[in-house]
Structure 1
Amino acid sequence: MDLCGRRDVISSLPDDVSCHILSFLPTKEAASTSVLSKKWRYLFAFVPNLDLDDSVYLNPGNKTDISSSFMDFVDRVLALQGNSPLHKFSLKIRDGVDPVRIIPWIHNVLDRGVSDLHLDLDLESEFLLPSKVYLSKTLVRLKIYFGQYPLFDFEDVHLPKLKTLYIESSHFEKHGIGLSKFLSGCPILEDLVLDDISWFIWDFASVSVPTLKRLTFSWQERGEFPKSVSLDTPNLVYLKFTDTVAGKYPKVNFTSLVEAHIDLRLLKPILINYHQGYGENDMVGNATDFIMRICNVKTLYLSANTLQVLTYSCDAIPLFNNLTHLTIESNPNVGWQSVPGLLKNSPNLETLIFQGLIHKATDRCGDVCLCFKPREKILSCLSSSPVKVIKILKFGEISDDMEKQIKYFLETMPNLEKMILYYNTPSVRNVVAVSSRLRRLVSTVASSSCIIQLISDNLSLSSTVSTHGLFLSKSTSPI
């Protein structure tokens, strides 16, 4: 408000600007502006985005009336907008809405040329998407979540403009064939997310999309494994993959891959007696064909589960010639047996990131740590490491073992220029104490010119330690 002139500055904005502002609000709030004045009464009819969520109506004490009110509200909103063009339609329903009412809503927005459709439906009865969804000539982005009755059933798929597809908690009636048919109807698809898709029940699973640039797959169940998985995506540049190791990987094509986040799991935890070896029946599947195809990456994230897979379910670790950034997740129940092979086969690695240093101590961790081996007997692969920067995330209280590990890195890695430790503590006293301990540690490594930086997100100061002294500087966030 212009208090001096008592003029409503917002209402004096052009209509298209006001509509643009309204498009960022939930639909119920945007619709409520129609009571402000005559000028605002019909502006809502031209808002290009609709965000409808039945949870704003939910009241456990009067469930039926609330659901009815929500359905009537959606009908009124769509009627008010008429045939005006629509960019985005988001519909979130959790309970009590009649599925019969939903079909006309979807038809309405498709007829109006919607390009971004988000359906989050957790209904009490089976619901099938209308065939119009699979034949839309305007959809660019499609996100679908089905709850209790997740089923895809279609005769044909033709989505000529679809670039982004997100499917969560859904099943395909024809299993692997259904998914392949769906993807084949998306000729320019670039971004695909398959979340909680239980393809372990299929005879085969295949993602073959020549245009795909980003793929995210996540299946968290540990009790089952997929029989056969093929991934033919020659233009893929980003991969985030969480799954149990498959029985086989007939085809894996990641020719253009630049960044990968891999969380592969064994079918079941393996309890190994390291001195007696282990049997072939302790695992299912072989990850070799999958791992060999990610060797072109520049940035690689490996979970602790994947370290275990590399140890027990991979015939060999490939040569990562392009790898410059490697992140390794540590877990106190998983050893580092595969880490020496990773570092030896990464000749151009510049940045090494540990999400914690605590891991299971074994006599097979090689020369990366000091597990069970006298230091004088170790011929370390770290001595030829090209790594310039080490980052240690999730850095807790410094212990004697952790201090020894840090000192070992400093003494052994000739090209190391900086070590950054991200320390989460609310106490300035803790930062000063750890900084002092690190300074003493560095002073004992006379040959090292590496700078150690201690950073805390919760403080305004961070500590930088080197052989030249202790410096305080502004805190920075982890990269």
Structure 2
Amino acid sequence: MSERGVACRRRTGEDKISFLPDHLLCEILSDVPTKTAVMTSVLSTRWRNIWLCIPLLDLHTDDFPNFTAFASFISTFLDFSKGSSCLHKLKLDLNFGRRRPIQDISSESSSWDLAFARGYLDPYYLITMWIDIAATRKVQHLDIFLHPWNLKIIPLSIYTCETLVSLKLRNVSLADSEYVSLPCLKTLHLVDNTYASDALLEKLISSCPVLEDLTFVRKGNTEYDFDILRVRSQSLKSLVVVLNGKEWWYKACRVAVIDAPGLSYLSLQDKQLACYVISNLRSPDKVNIDISFEVDSDLANLIGSSKKSVVRSFFTMLSNVRDMTISQTTLEGIWLYLKHEQLPLFPYLIRLHAVLHNSDLGNLPNLLESCPNLKSIVLELKEFRKEGLLIFSSSVPECLRSSLEYVETRRPIGGVVSEIELVKYFLENSAVLKKFKMCLRRGRMNEESNILMELLRLRRCSPSCEVVVDLEELGEEACQSMKRYYNFF
């Protein structure tokens, strides 16, 4: 470009980005939602049709006044881009809960999709057709989210889409298929869907030879019954299983079979306790456990022996874990069914994040005894409702004597006696502790000072231990109130 041409464009105030080639502009617009990309069409004639060439469609029905406008927009896009062989991503978030799915369709519309819709007035057929088109155009990422109920809209062509890398489905029905092959699929998220059979779900998972990330969510409002969840994959690295709901809402999954030796992350959230069979789990980096063991102190004496076996067996299967987050609900089951017993050993556990109620703190040493090489523990403490001293066992867990280097409490300390005792327990017994981090509850200034001084006066077993005290964060209104109280104007 000549110097004269450059100077001319500078004088006219034209932006440099508009002179980039189309393929670069399309790449830029691919990184923003479709709604934002479309807005660029008003910038100038140069931008008017650029958005139609981007290889992705990311839309929400709430961005349109009705489904007719929504369908018209998608049809225009697909019509314009049908000369292209690729549609890299199709993401449709469809909310039919607050409006009629199809309103009167303008007779002036010439779109072939809407012409077909005039005869059927079936939005779900259109959605199925759009997904089928995406599959033929070598889609790589497909996200279909339906609200609030599931519908049979997924075409069988999805089961054999060789280019699909990521598939995320919510509230849809998956029909049976004799043949499933997804050779490139790495991410599979299945949330509140229905399946033709347990065998289809198993086939879908096992037909993804490079699958790395699987999320399976089954909530109580899903009208689907199944007995066995089978997850068998040699390539799987991350697995999230969520089984929520009430017994009277649905027939809960009773058995979950997990055979994925390469898992590095496992998250299980289960409110109705399936029987878990976890095999060949080598050494997962992190597990997140929030399982209800149907804790009921009145029933514990009646079914204690069988439940005790279930709890012990479950944690034995996870004995190789290195990093574990465990919920209060799960710990309550442990305390109830394995009380007065040594917990299963976790010899490789380095990091532990535990959610505890103050009434369970007396059981903490028992938990620490099962983690002989623990280096870091984060305690997320529930509200302290009871005063009084905590009574810890006289024996000091091995990890406190030899490995524990970091302790953090996630609840602001307000001066309750049991809180002070907890801090004292770790400071006085942790021989190699490097850092103890806690948060101090904001209150009257003299109270804060007294609590802080009491905490800092505690004897430390480790001479190199650093105590870090933060003040809890307050909202803007609370901060203004504090300023007025202390006359900080």
TM-score, scaled to structure 2: 0.79
Maintained 8 Å contact 1:118/1:143: yes
2:72 is paired with a residue whose SS is helix
Q: Which amino acid aligns with 2:395?
A: L
Maintained 8 Å contact 1:113/1:138: yes
Q: Shift of the alpha carbon at 1:290?
A: 2.4
Maintained 8 Å contact 1:49/1:86: yes
Maintained 8 Å contact 2:413/2:419: no
Equivalent residue number for residue 170 of structure 1: 193
User: Which of 26, 35, 55 lines up with 1:28 in the alignment?
Assistant: 35
1:211 is paired with a residue whose SS is coil
Question: 1:73/1:225 Cα in 2 relative to 1: closer, same or farther (>3 Å)?
Answer: closer
Residues 267-416 of structure 1: matches in 2 within 5 Å? 267=294, 269-271=295-297, 278-280=301-303, 286-313=310-337, 317-331=343-357, 335-336=360-361, 339-356=364-381, 358=383, 370-371=389-390, 373=391, 378-381=394-397, 384=401, 386-416=403-433
Maintained 8 Å contact 1:410/1:448: yes
| Divergent runs of 4+, >6 A | 359-362
**Any stretches of 5+ residues in structure 2 without a counterpart?**
1-8, 103-122, 475-489
Q: Shift of the alpha carbon at 1:23?
A: 1.6
Question: 1:225/1:33 Cα in 2 relative to 1: closer, same or farther (>3 Å)?
Answer: closer
Aligned-partner Cα distance in 1 for 2:459–2:138: 67
Tell me the number of residue pairs that the alignment of Structure 1 and Structure 2 aligns: 430
1:384 is paired with a residue whose SS is helix
Aligned-partner Cα distance in 2 for 1:12–1:447: 67
2:453 is paired with a residue whose SS is helix
Equivalent residue number for residue 441 of structure 1: 455
Aligned-partner Cα distance in 2 for 1:206–1:259: 21
Aligned-partner Cα distance in 2 for 1:222–1:208: 27
Q: Shift of the alpha carbon at 1:213?
A: 0.5
Question: 1:361/1:36 Cα in 2 relative to 1: closer, same or farther (>3 Å)?
Answer: closer
Equivalent residue number for residue 242 of structure 1: 269
1:11-66 CA distance string (max 9 Å, x none): 123323321222233323322333433321231222122111111114xxxxxxx2
Q: Shift of the alpha carbon at 1:158?
A: 0.9
Aligned-partner Cα distance in 2 for 1:185–1:29: 36
1:113-168 CA distance string (max 9 Å, x none): 1101100123667323100111100000000011xxx4222213111100000010
Q: Shift of the alpha carbon at 1:289?
A: 2.7
1:7 is paired with a residue whose SS is coil
1:73 is paired with a residue whose SS is helix
Q: Shift of the alpha carbon at 1:433?
A: 5.2
2:403 is paired with a residue whose SS is coil
Question: 1:47/1:385 Cα in 2 relative to 1: closer, same or farther (>3 Å)?
Answer: same
Q: Which amino acid aligns with 2:357?
A: N
**Any stretches of 5+ residues in structure 1 without a counterpart?**
59-65, 363-368, 460-479
User: Which of 123, 129, 143 lines up with 1:104 in the alignment?
Assistant: 129
Q: Which amino acid aligns with 1:46?
A: C
Q: Which amino acid aligns with 1:168?
A: V
Q: Which amino acid aligns with 2:470?
A: I
Aligned-partner Cα distance in 2 for 1:456–1:337: 26
Maintained 8 Å contact 1:310/1:338: no
Aligned-partner Cα distance in 2 for 1:300–1:167: 24
Residues 44-59 of structure 1: matches in 2 within 5 Å? 44-58=51-65
Aligned-partner Cα distance in 2 for 1:51–1:337: 52
Q: Shift of the alpha carbon at 1:441?
A: 2.9
The answer to whether 1:194 aligns with 2:216 is: yes
TM-score, scaled to structure 1: 0.80
Of 210-219 and 43-52, more deviation after overlay is shown by: 43-52
Question: 1:457/1:339 Cα in 2 relative to 1: closer, same or farther (>3 Å)?
Answer: closer
User: Which of 220, 226, 236 lines up with 2:244 in the alignment?
Assistant: 220
1:455 is paired with a residue whose SS is strand
The answer to whether 1:92 aligns with 2:93 is: yes
Of 303-312 and 210-219, more deviation after overlay is shown by: 303-312
Of 190-199 and 300-309, more deviation after overlay is shown by: 190-199
Maintained 8 Å contact 1:50/1:89: yes
Aligned-partner Cα distance in 1 for 2:375–2:367: 13
Equivalent residue number for residue 475 of structure 1: none
Task: Say what the alpha-carbon RMSD is for the aligned residues.
Answer: 3.2
Equivalent residue number for residue 455 of structure 1: 470
Q: Which amino acid aligns with 2:356?
A: S
Q: Which amino acid aligns with 2:276?
A: Y
1:181-219 CA distance string (max 9 Å, x none): 111211111100012267994332211111100001112
Aligned-partner Cα distance in 2 for 1:125–1:437: 55
Equivalent residue number for residue 76 of structure 1: 76
Equivalent residue number for residue 260 of structure 1: 287
1:74 is paired with a residue whose SS is helix
Question: 1:118/1:435 Cα in 2 relative to 1: closer, same or farther (>3 Å)?
Answer: farther
Q: Shift of the alpha carbon at 1:414?
A: 2.1
Equivalent residue number for residue 257 of structure 2: 230
Aligned-partner Cα distance in 2 for 1:122–1:238: 29
Q: Shift of the alpha carbon at 1:247?
A: 5.6
Q: Which amino acid aligns with 1:163?
A: K
Percent identity, aligned pairs only, is 26
Q: Which amino acid aligns with 2:45?
A: K
Q: Which has the higher helix share?
A: 2
Equivalent residue number for residue 121 of structure 1: 146
Maintained 8 Å contact 1:335/1:359: no
Q: Which amino acid aligns with 1:77?
A: F
Q: Shift of the alpha carbon at 1:246?
A: 4.0
